[in-house]
Chains A and B, each alone.
Chain A
Amino acid sequence: MIKVEGLTKRYARNVAVDNISFEVGKGEIVGFLGPNGAGKTTTMRILTCFLPPTTGKASVAGFDTLEQPMEVKKRIGYLPENPPVYPEMEVREYLTFVGKLKGLTSKDVPGRVEEAMKRCAILDVKSKLIGKLSKGYRQRVGLAQAILHNPDVLILDEPTSGLDPKQIIEARELIASLAGDHTIILSTHILTEIEQSCDKVIIIDKGKLKATDSVANLKKLLHGTEVHVEIQTPAPSAEIRQTLEQIPGVSRVVLSNAADERHYFEVESLESQNVRAEIARAVVHAGWNLNELRPKGASLEDVFLQLTASEQKTSVETVSQ
């Protein structure tokens, strides 16, 4: 459905996208992941024919973005980074305008507008001026605008930014409900979002493609035989280490850092055994504080950080599953 080959976008001073190639099949939901300034927005702008690529090709539904932009545009619903709304228009008036602009017949417009407003939960503000809406509501209007004409391909640049937690869940459900008939590319910084709603992930950093794979594969890549442990105690590191090594199933213990009575260990265990419960029990038994205990690399976050890291600094403070 979407095919990108050797795509490069050079601005006057820097290269925003550097020789990226990927493909997205029909009906797939693809998460576009990368730190700030990675080139996500730029790639999306090229796909939507807003920007021409410097070199390389991009095509949507078999139509080249440079050669047949009209055909591409007809098939795309696009939510830019900032929702493209007119503050002086009312919500319904705006969506009606967009509907006509997207080529819906005047007979279809009211029905489609109503439907999109319902799906994005903005029926209660339909007669309000967009300029007076909160950021989250404006975002939803932007989302409604993107799905309005029922396009084959949806390109959503950070669709959940500015939404409250309840709305984020609803937006994810909306996106999930669009899957199947629609091919969706969405960019986000929220990794759980990708884990929950996407089939495939494309990770880019500084304009370069770092990985494209299914979510399941990427997670499997690092699924854990390693556990990260943080223990707080005045006891010396060596003693802790000894204790940890005695836990059945543990194959190797590496002290990665120690400061201020905090000791950080990487604990490797045998393939099949889950040693976390044992570690927790041992630490508590010894009377130490267990500050953190999490499977290393089990989350997409770690994949992401590993792939994009140059000066990585984790601030994850969760004892997560």
Chain B
Amino acid sequence: MKNVLIIADKEIKTYFTSPIAYLLMAIFGLIFGYFMFSATAFFVMRSMEMQMQGGSQPMNVNDFVIGPLLGNASVVGLFLIPMISMRLFAEEKRQGTMELLMTSPVRDYEIVLGKWLGAMFMYICVIGISLLNVAILFAYGKPDWHPIAAGYLGLILQGGCLLAIGTFISTTTRNQIIAGGATFAVCLLLWVLDWVSSYEQAAWAKVVAYCSVLTHFEPFSKGVIDSKDVIFYLTMIFLGLFLTARSMESLRWRS
């Protein structure tokens, strides 16, 4: 466990000593801020219209602002995740530090776990920027915090799952750009897999749609924590990290 933390700590320091951490946080903050602004403006306009038409029930901030916002955050996260995970192993391989890690008294899985945790920390920092915006909602209104917490849990789980996949892909090359591109392609694919369910009802389509990360995120953004979704994400994380460890091992045997 100590070794895991040593590696994670090093990864986090690396993110924050390079511009990448601040760049990602700025990009995310900007885009999320814009979404937030649009969503609230739209919400205000609609609720004023409703009131003028004599609608008695006030509109729900959670359903109309926060839900869609979290959905958008998950999409933006999809683009940022490859940028977080791509360097994890590719960079170590390129600069020859893999030789240091693999000849130090640490186990492969400790390296994998440490790197993934470091990436998770980075991802959570990026996602965390959006809390500033959400805080504004709390300052001016009374949204229910339960669905918000569920939404963030969903974001974290989805991010963890995609980062695990990205970590695995990063072990397969010494070129960061290739790792990033491939991760992006896989993330995008996993994201749109649920499209099949819109035109096909056969069993295989259900299975394919089941593998879509988006299918499992939607309940979270509505404030529903379903154990089946949690289990899906945890399984994917485990699978990704397991493959990473195996890939490290084969690195030894092949190279």
Contacts and interface: CB of A to CB of B under 8 A. Distances in A.
Interface of A: 45, 48-52, 70, 73-74, 76, 78, 80, 82-89, 93, 97-98, 100-103, 145
B17 interface: yes
A84 B100 contact: yes
Interface string B103-116: 11111000000000
Contact of B103 (A73, A83, A93): A73
B252 interface: yes
Nearest to A51: B252
B99 A73 contact: no
Given A73-B105, A101-B105, 19 more contacts: A48-B103, A49-B102, A50-B103, A51-B255, A70-B107, A73-B103, A73-B104, A76-B103, A78-B99, A78-B103, A84-B95, A84-B96, A86-B97, A89-B13, A89-B14, A101-B6, A101-B106, A102-B105, A145-B100
A201 to B, nearest CB: 24
B60 interface: no
B140 interface: no
Contacts of B106: 101
Given A51-B252, A52-B252, A84 B99 contact: yes
Given A48-B103, A78-B103, A86 B253 contact: no
A50 B102 contact: yes
A102 B102 CA distance: 11
A85 B97 contact: yes
Contacts of A74: 105
Interface residues of B, number: 24
A67 to B, nearest CB: 15
A282 to B, nearest CB: 56
Interface of B: 3, 6-7, 10, 13-14, 17-18, 95-107, 252-253, 255
B10 A50 contact: no
A82 B106 CA distance: 21
Contact of A86 (B14, B102, B255): B14
B19 to A, nearest CB: 11
Contacts of A70: 105, 107
Given A100-B6, A101-B104, A103-B105, A50 B95 contact: no
Contacts of B3: 101
A97 B99 contact: no
B253 A52 contact: yes
Contacts of A45: 99
Given A52-B252, A88-B14, A88-B17, A82 B104 contact: no
Nearest to A157: B99
A87 B95 contact: yes
Given A52-B252, A52-B253, A102 B99 contact: no
9 smallest CB-CB distances across A and B, nearest first, come from: A84-B100, A73-B105, A48-B103, A84-B97, A74-B105, A80-B99, A82-B96, A101-B104, A100-B6
